[in-house]
Structure 1
Amino acid sequence: MQRRKFLEKIALSTAAIAAGTQLEGRTGMTTERLTEAQYMGGYAAEPLPMIRAAFIGVGARGGDHLQFFASLEGTEVVAISDLYEDNVQKWQKVANEIGAGERHKDVAGYHGEEERWRVMLEEVKPDVVFIATNWHNHAPMAIAAMNQGAHAFVEVPIAVTLEEMWAIVDTSERTRKHCMMMENVNYSRDELMFLNMCRQGVVGQLLHAEAAYIHELRWQMEEQERGTGSWRTLHYAKRNGNLYPTHGLGPVAQYMNLARQEDNFKRLVSFSTPALGRQAYAEKNYPADHKWNQLDYQGGDLNTTIIKTELGRTVMVQWDETSPRPYSRHNLIQGTKGTLAGFPTRVALEGGIEGLTENHHRWAQGEQLEMLYEKYDHPLYKRLNHATKDSGHGGMDGMMMYRIVECLQKGLPLDQNVYEGCYWSAVAPLSELSVAQDGMPQAFPDFTRGNWKETVPLGIVE
């Protein structure tokens, strides 16, 4: 038995070494920055007093982005590209109406063939491009936009593979163009307040975070020819990991200053439950010969991933778009002096909260939170809430777009840099590797090539 255990340990060690060797080549850990490239952490581009923007993909999220962008001063919608002509025509009309016939009046439209967006980039030469298409198109479109001289703003995730993420980083550094993943949840009221409280040291030194995207979206399987479900369902069937980590992870990563001077992502382990829910839903709702019943669903219904940081802190990230349960992003940050938690929002501090709780064994929550909002609401929320509250997702979409436009017009660094978009998105392919290897740890590539130690943490924007 001792010999057998020894041989088992050797086999495991050999497998780990082999996996590590494969991972190093896959993630580009030894990749050198190009000589003509520039590190983009904290990068501020030349001010753009008037921003000429093109939009690729306006079937859902892209149209919302266009609508709020077009309403801001110093903006011009110059082109729209979508597979479908009706989408293009709809948003050309909306842009023109917002501009009252003076701004956004000659919006070029491109539709039909898959690659029409490339023609648009070459002909229109926009200053910025907003990309809201299926996940596989994010990286090629962002890279092409930067190569054509435009800043790229991409829906989540920034890319699907680690190779694509490295290509985005290299292109951004070479062209000196922003590539920001538009993580809107970083602009939610509670997430902004928690960031403010963390910066003020209210919960002490940060130890652990929890984040999630729990959102039952089986109904999207009804979108079979057009719409999100027509392509996203295939991801659920073919991939097994945490495919959508950034909504929960983005905010807690900024609380912890990950990839910004203080700490960084180091490695993760990941496990998925059995894949049962999607298959059962398809069998219940569609004929036996329906295409959704021809898929072999491999993606577990719920994935749990644990991230270890360079400082030894931990982050639990969960994802489930299948199970019948209420929506949650979880959003928890734990420190040496207390804990901030979401869904429902609640706060516990050592010694209690004056006027609210006697000790840390009880949460301050519900109506008690009004006192905390008054004291700790983020200055950005106070400044922009009234102007953006009618935009999507409770105002966070509009606040994000306002900040993008403000930073570009004033020549300020963006609130989210290209490296953060890659780190947060990298959880998906790394979790797939870990799940496939029965939870084997996977190292994060250092997309900054060591420069994260020089990147100033995100400040409390006034």
Structure 2
Amino acid sequence: MNDAAPQNHDISRRDVLWTAGAAGAGIGIGGLGTGSASAAEQAAQAPAQPQEVPAPKRQGLTMIGVPFQRRSTVRVGLIGLGNRGGSMIDLYLAVPGVRVVALCDPVKAKAESAAAKVVAAGQPAPAVYANGDHDYEQLLGRHDIDFVHIATPWDSHFDITKAALLNGVHAGVECPASMRMDQLWELVDLSERTRRHCMQLENCCYGRNEMRVLRMAHAGKFGELLHGAGAYIHDLRGLMFDPKYYEGPWRRLWHTRLRGDLYPTHGFGPVANYMDVNRGDRVVSIVSVGTPALGLAEYREAHMPAGDPSFKESYIESDRTISLVRTAKGRVIRLEHDVSTPHPYSRINSLGGTKGVFEDYPERIYIEPDHHDDNWGDFSKYTDWDHWLWKEHANPPGGHGGMDYMLVFRTMQCMRLGLVPDFDVYDAATWSAPVPLSHLSLKANGAPQQIPDFTRGDWHRSRPGMDSEKPSEA
């Protein structure tokens, strides 16, 4: 079966769905073409840069610099207890000053298993909500939850996050925050109106290498920053066809809906932090190109039995998507996405400036005056530049090399001590924006798309972010 071309999919209608409100969001879709000109003529007429469109009028006050209310105990709810949420609960239970009060998952056995962990950790039994896909509404209606961790399939992220904010609960949502531009704007507006933080729970920002490079970059070790790159390159073919791992085909089905970068935040978030995006610089445009969509169909032919429901699916998601993001200061960020072909895991994670460069996978560094003769240096010799979190927690528990624990520990610390979070709703919207915008760029033959200024002009303000000072526990 040839699945290179979509079958029985109304792609034009989906373009409208997933980029709804594009003009109001300042995307600029004129390059798509709506007249009778040929595709080649439309591409030739596409502007060199997208036209600037004003951001929607602010409905509330900015959330930049807004601290959490200080509290001695943070009361947490978790929604979604599959592979991700089921592992994160252990980390919340490992952080002092945190109480898990409520759990939600439509699979009752998973909710009950997570509840047993809470009791085993010596905490009171949490309330369990397992009555269908919308029982999270009952959880969020409680009056004893300060923070909710949302670890559900992507298409539910927006609805659950919106419900949390409207119920006065600070929301932490797994990646990406939303797949649609209009919803990203709505999350910004809701956070500002409700005065509750909406955070993209980007664990890769808390990786040891990422935090070390961040501190070195901010100290000028790479000179003036020029370029960076981040990616999500991970062979997920087997997992996407495993009905138990993702509990159905929800992740694979996104490959039948969009062509662009479905999962940009793991690579984008750390590089944005290096470059102080939304804190003195901002991203202004994105250009994307992509390969044919062949990998999933080939894997299906080789590994799935005849008659499997997946043979009804037509994949359009590019096997490899490459995007170039430009910042207001003229810097360039390269983003890549590939989960459909054989490749060792990589987030690329590179940063270059006028004094040198760092590249990950494998980690290596070359900066002046430390290195010369075109020989890479040993990054392990730069441990003095480790962030204070990694100096205090050298062997953190949990998966992904400890970055998950650092994310939970630091978020809960900010809430207990009444600090400003390391990142906010503007970062969540910015890091997730490549999902719909890369799709638009691909549909427009690589025409650049404007990335909105979700801060509405406040990006000019220099302010702290991930490179935080160690707080006093007093």
TM superposition score normalised by structure 2: 0.87
For 2:377, give the aligned amino acid: A
Matched, 1:372 2:382: yes
Same amino acid, percent of matched pairs: 35
| Paired AA for residue 57 in structure 2 | E
- Give 1:39's match in structure 2, choosing from 40, 44, 62: 62
1:384 to 385, 393, 408: 393
User: What residue number does 1:50 align with?
Assistant: 73
Q: What is the match of residue 411 of structure 2?
A: 404
Query: Do structure 1's residue 314 and structure 2's residue 332 form an aligned pair?
Result: yes
Comparing 151-160 with 377-386, greater Cα deviation is found at 377-386
For the residues of structure 2 that align with 1:289 and 1:158, how far apart are their CA atoms?
35
Q: Is the 8 A contact 2:43 2:447 kept in 1?
A: no
Question: Which residue number in structure 2 is paired with residue 3 of structure 1?
Answer: none
| Correspondence 1:414 to 2:421 | yes
2:277 is matched with which residue: 249, 254, 258?
258
Task: Tell me what 1:433 maps to.
Answer: 440
**In the alignment, residue 372 of structure 1 is paired with which amino acid?**
Y
Residue number in structure 2 paired with 1:149: 168
User: 1:196·1:460 contact (CA, 8 Å) conserved in 2?
Assistant: no
CA distance in 2, matches of 1:108, 1:8: 59
Secondary structure of the corresponding residue to residue 385 of structure 1: coil
More helix by proportion, 1 or 2? 1
Over 3 Å counting, the alpha-carbon distance change for 1:48 and 1:391 in structure 2 is same
In structure 2, the CA distance between the partners of 1:228 and 1:437, relative to structure 1 (3 Å rule), is farther
Higher mean C-alpha displacement, 123-132 vs 149-158? 123-132
CA contact (8 A) 1:125 1:150 kept: no
Range 426-435 or range 281-290, more displaced: 281-290
Deviation per CA, 1:25-66, whole angstroms, max 9, x where unpaired?
xxxx430111xx120122212112211111100111112222
Cα offset, 1:376, TM superposition = 1.7
Matching residue of 2:33 = none
- For residue 364 of structure 1, give the secondary structure of its aligned residue in structure 2: coil
1:446 is displaced (CA, Å) by 1.1
Distance verdict in 2 for CA 1:10–1:393, change over 3 Å:
closer
After TM superposition, the structure 1 = structure 2 runs for residues 220-299 of structure 1, keeping only pairs within 5 Å, are 220-224=239-243, 227=246, 230-260=249-279, 262-299=280-317
Question: Residue 450 of structure 2 corresponds to which residue in structure 1?
Answer: 443
- Other-structure match for 2:17: none
Evaluate the alpha carbon distance shift between residue 228 and residue 263 of structure 1 in structure 2; reply closer, same or farther with a 3 A threshold.
farther
Q: Cα offset for 1:455?
A: 4.8
Counterpart residue type for residue 99 of structure 2: E
For the 8 Å contact 1:42–1:417, the answer to whether it is kept is: no
Q: Contact 2:68 / 2:414 at 8 angstroms: preserved in 1?
A: no
> Is 1:213 the counterpart of 2:222 in the alignment?
no
User: How far has the Cα of 1:461 moved from its partner?
Assistant: 3.0
Is residue 68–residue 398 contact of structure 1 (8 Å, CA) maintained in 2?
yes
Counterpart of 1:288 in structure 2: which amino acid? A
Report the TM-score when normalising by structure 1: 0.89
Letter in 2 for 1:306: L
- Is residue 43–residue 444 contact of structure 2 (8 Å, CA) maintained in 1? no
Matches within 5 A, 1:130-145: 130-145=149-164
CA separation of 1:228 and 1:420: change in aligned 2, threshold 3 A: farther
The residue matched to 1:268 in structure 2 has which SS? strand
Gaps of 5+ in 2: 1-36
Deviation, 1:116, is 0.7
Q: Verify the 8 A CA contact 2:239 2:245 in the aligned structure 1.
A: no
Aligned residue identity for 2:205 = N
Which 5+ residue runs of structure 1 have no aligned equivalent?
1-6
1:331 counterpart = 2:341: no
Task: Judge which range, 289-298 or 166-175, deviates more.
Answer: 289-298
CA distance in 1 between counterparts of 2:294 and 2:153 reads 24
What is the root-mean-square deviation of aligned Cα atoms in Å?
2.2
Deviation string for 1:64-114 (max 9, x for gaps)?
22211122222111111101000010000001111x2xx2x1311111321
- State the match for 1:4 in structure 2: none
* Equivalent residue pairs, number: 433
Q: Which amino acid aligns with 1:363?
A: W
* Structure 1 pair 239–20 and aligned structure 2 pair: CA distance change class (3 A): same
Corresponding residue of 1:16: 46
